[in-house]
Structures are given as C-alpha cells and as structure tokens.
A = this chain, B = another copy of it.
Amino acid sequence: MRIVLDGMGSDTHPGPEVEAAVQAAREFGEEIILVGDVELLKPALAAASAAPEGGIRLIHAAEVLEMADKPASSARGKAENSMAIGMDLLKSGGADAFVTAGNTGGAMANALFRLGRLRGVKRPALAPLFPVKGGRAVILDIGANAECKPEYLLQFAIMGSVYAERMLGVKSPRVGLLSNGEEASKGNELVKETYPLLAASGLNFIGSVEGKEVFGGEADVVVTDGFTGNVLLKASEAVAKLLTDLIRDELVRSPLTAIGGMLAGPAFRRVRKLMDPAEYGAVPLLGVNGLVFIGHGRSDARALVSAIRVARQAVEQDVLGAMRTGLSQT
C-alpha cells in the first residue's frame, strides 16, 4: 500500500508531515509518499530520522496551496501544487490514498478537478467519524455543501452507510436524518422532502434524530446538509471545550476539589482524548474518485499519523470499491 502525504499542508509544514511520515512508515510498514518542495523536505527528513528511511519516497511539487489562496481558482492556477501532484498519483494508480492537513476548500477543489466524482454522485461530502456514546458515528455533510437538495442528502446517506459499514464494522448501519424533532412532520423544507426519499431508499433508515439520539449513539450515520452539520460539529467541539474548561476552573476553587482533580486526572485525560479532534480528525471527502482525507491545519505529527491510520484502514477495507457498488445499486 502507498499513501500520499501532502508535505505542505499543515500550518507549520513540513515539520509535522516529515515527522509523521517517519513514524507512519515505521509503525505501519507501508510506503509513505511525501509530496512537496524537496529542497525543504530532504533536509527535514535527514534531521528527523537517524536511519535512512526505506519506507518514504519524496516527490517534488513546485507550488504550494496557501491558506489565503482561493480554492477553486488556485487549484487550477497552481497546477503544480502539492495536493494536485499527490492526487494525480492517486488517479494514475501510483498511490492508494491521499492525506493532507491543508486548506479544506483547496483540497476539495483539487479533488474535483484532478479526481472527479464517482459515477452518479452530485456532490461530494465531508464525513468525519465523531465520538458518540459507545463509539463513533459518521456525520455528513459537515461543510462541503452549505446549500443542499434532497437528492444530495440521499446520496450522503448511501455513502455514509458504506463508510460506516466498512470503517466501523457495522452491518446495516442505522441512518438518521438530523432534524428539530423526532416526528416525521418536523423539519425544515429540506428535511421534510428528504424524509420520504430515505424511507424508500432500502437503507436502514431510523427516522429523524436530534442531538440526544446523535450523541446517545442511536444512529451510525447522521445525514444533514453541510451548513447544519458544520454548526453541529463546531458547537459540539465548543461545548466540550467549555465544559472541560469550566470543570478545570471549578476544581481549583478549593484545595479539596483540587486534590480530587489531580487524582481524577487520568479519567479526565481519557475523556479529553476521546473528544479530541486530533484523534479522529482526518475527514474523508466521500464521493470523489479516490480516497482523500483532510486533517486540521493545526495538525501535529500525532494527528497526521492518526489520519494516515484512518486512510490505511479505508484502503484495506476497499471503501472506494464498496462505495461504487453501493451507489450503483441505488
């Protein structure tokens, strides 16, 4: 297996990328292809690693997609950007998955331009595995499409089901439609029009779900438009942060609670880790013709290794093939 890692993605590239490539090559025994400015990558690699790294290949990319670049125009204008070069490798069969911590819009534009969409897909969707009671659930879309049509949401449901089946090992994943009430009569126009499509889809549709069901782990796949999904995800992260900050502030208010906090430390750290985007943060762009994973710009080496781990699992599970089959059957 060969996994491409965009060497120029993270805010502090290429340090985290090079470190992650070394770690991942060792840990997984797969070939990691680092794409970027080799004049930068080569010395960083030499500094990061004592031994010559057999599992790492460098490929030069003359351009970099910056955070400030406009996604669509620069994906075309900067034809030699590291994402484009990496995705071309995927397209040509020279690699199996692509991981970047770069600009999400840029990655989407490059993916659409270089890889194209899977047959029948109207809109690709960003589909993280996020933490819920008892495990993980796929939520999609969380930001690729701020404005959606019912047929897009139906496709999200199909792609999300395949992804949950393969990545979470769930047979017949439970699909919920995010709404403002559990009753079929609730929802905005989009939800009301999508509901019958999902009910007739042949998927394991469990109806409308709210926060309680989503975070209670009652659905394996949560379908929503990219605007609402994005609001949900960011609110969840912010509430988790607020709550842990509040607990920390409260703990230091008395010596006894402070001692309690210290003793309870390992429990807190496990929960913090569970809710940490770096642990589950690489988000696949489902619906494009290749396995593309996008991590946070602030990713460190650990987050990138974790992203490569997820990408590797997706290759092993033939997520792309299963998605093609799933889409053609519906």
Please measure, in the bound complex, the distance between the C-alpha atom of A230 and the C-alpha atom of B260, giving whole angstroms. Answer: 36
Taking the nearest CB of chain B, how far is it from the CB of A258, in angstroms? 8
Q: Is A76 an interface residue (CB 8 A)?
A: no
Q: Is A322 an interface residue (CB 8 A)?
A: no
Taking the nearest CB of chain B, how far is it from the CB of A228, in angstroms? 6
Whether the Cβ atoms of B271 and A188 lie closer than 8 Å is no
CB contacts (< 8 Å) of A187 on chain B: these are 146, 227
Q: Given known contacts A250-B270, A261-B264, is B186 in contact with A211 (CB within 8 Å)?
A: no
Which residues 209-258 in A have Cβ within 8 Å of B in the complex? 210-212, 214-216, 224-228, 230-247, 250-251, 253-254, 256-257
CB contacts (< 8 Å) of A254 on chain B: these are 266-267
A contact residues, total (Cβ < 8 Å): 64
Whether the Cβ atoms of A230 and B180 lie closer than 8 Å is yes
Partner of A267, one of B146, B186, B240, B247: B247
Q: Is A132 an interface residue (CB 8 A)?
A: yes
Q: Is A199 an interface residue (CB 8 A)?
A: no
Report copies per complex: 2
Please measure, in the bound complex, the distance between the C-alpha atom of A140 and the C-alpha atom of B17, giving whole angstroms. Answer: 42
Taking the nearest CB of chain B, how far is it from the CB of A173, in angstroms? 20
Closest to A252 in B: B267
Whether the Cβ atoms of B235 and A232 lie closer than 8 Å is yes
Whether the Cβ atoms of A234 and B211 lie closer than 8 Å is yes
Whether the Cβ atoms of A231 and B231 lie closer than 8 Å is yes
Binding site for B on A (CB under 8 A): 131-133, 143, 146-147, 178-181, 186-189, 191, 210-212, 214-216, 224-228, 230-247, 250-251, 253-254, 256-257, 259-268, 270-271, 274-275
User: Would you list 19 pairs from A and B whose C-beta atoms are within 8 A, ordered by A residue?
Assistant: A133-B245, A147-B188, A179-B231, A180-B227, A188-B225, A188-B227, A211-B237, A212-B241, A227-B228, A231-B232, A239-B240, A240-B243, A243-B271, A247-B247, A247-B267, A247-B271, A250-B268, A250-B271, A260-B267
The 3 closest A-B pairs by CB, nearest first: A260-B263, A260-B264, A211-B234
Q: A224-B231, A246-B271 are in contact. List 6 more A-B contacts (CB 8 A).
A: A210-B230, A210-B231, A211-B238, A231-B232, A253-B267, A260-B260
